[in-house]
Amino acid sequence: MLSCQHCCFGASPSRTVLREQLARQLQDSALLEKANLLITELEAGRLASEVPKALEPLFRPSVQPYLISWMKYDPASEIRNVGVPLLILQGTTDIQVTVSDANLLATARADASLAVIEGMNHVLKAATLEAKSQRDAYTDPAIPIVDELFEVLEAFVR
């Protein structure tokens, strides 16, 4: 199953993160090449007309205008313009955005607070890097948000 959280991104421009995520997920080199071509088209501001069925969840026509607008931003540059205190949260088992991305964001804004939470994934729940653990964290509403997240948020707000 192809998945990508294009609502969230790391310190790299979205097109870079998207390429990295797809390179980890797609075993078919021809499909990966097509995905990279689609990203290049969208990055240039052009809608892509031919999208392979396997890539439709991410590149379907209704999402392409959003992707085009999203690719214009570089998160590391953007956070420099945020005029309020900034907390960067990152889990060590996030399979979409890496601890390295969080560190790069923190470097881009020297006064930012960075909290890396051991065992927390992209949806703020406890998970290992195993596929089943990740899938369960994404789909099982009974799995609670990691307690440490609340502690970090409380300390930051105080």
Across the chain, what does the average pLDDT equal? 89
- C-alpha 136/C-alpha 147 separation (Å) is 18
Q: Please give the average per-residue pLDDT across 113-125, as a whole number.
A: 97
Q: How much of the chain is helix, strand and coil, in % rounded to 5?
A: 50, 10, 45
In the prediction, which pLDDT does 4 show? 40
| Low-confidence winner among 9-13, 58-62, 65-69, 128-132 (lowest mean pLDDT) | 9-13
- C-alpha 124/C-alpha 149 separation (Å) is 8
In the prediction, which pLDDT does 24 show? 84
- The pLDDT confidence band at residue 25, using thresholds 50, 70 and 90, is confident
pTM score, whole prediction: 0.74
The encoded tokens of residue 35 equal 């995905």
The identity of residue 72, as a single letter, is K
CA distances from 149 to 9, 23, 72, 103 (A): 19, 30, 30, 18
- The pLDDT confidence band at residue 12, using thresholds 50, 70 and 90, is low
Conformation bin of residue 36: beta by default, left when phi > 0, alpha when psi is -120 to 50: alpha
Please say if the pLDDT value at position 3 is more than 60: no
User: Over the stretch 49-96, which tens digit does the pLDDT of each residue have?
Assistant: 899 999 999 999 999 999 999 888 888 888 888 889 999 999 999 988
The kind and range of the H/E element at 25 are: helix 14-25
In the prediction, which pLDDT does 10 show? 52
What are the structural domains of the chain? 14-70 (no CATH), 76-157 (3.40.50)
Q: Please give the average per-residue pLDDT across 107-131, as a whole number.
A: 95
- C-alpha 17/C-alpha 29 separation (Å) is 18
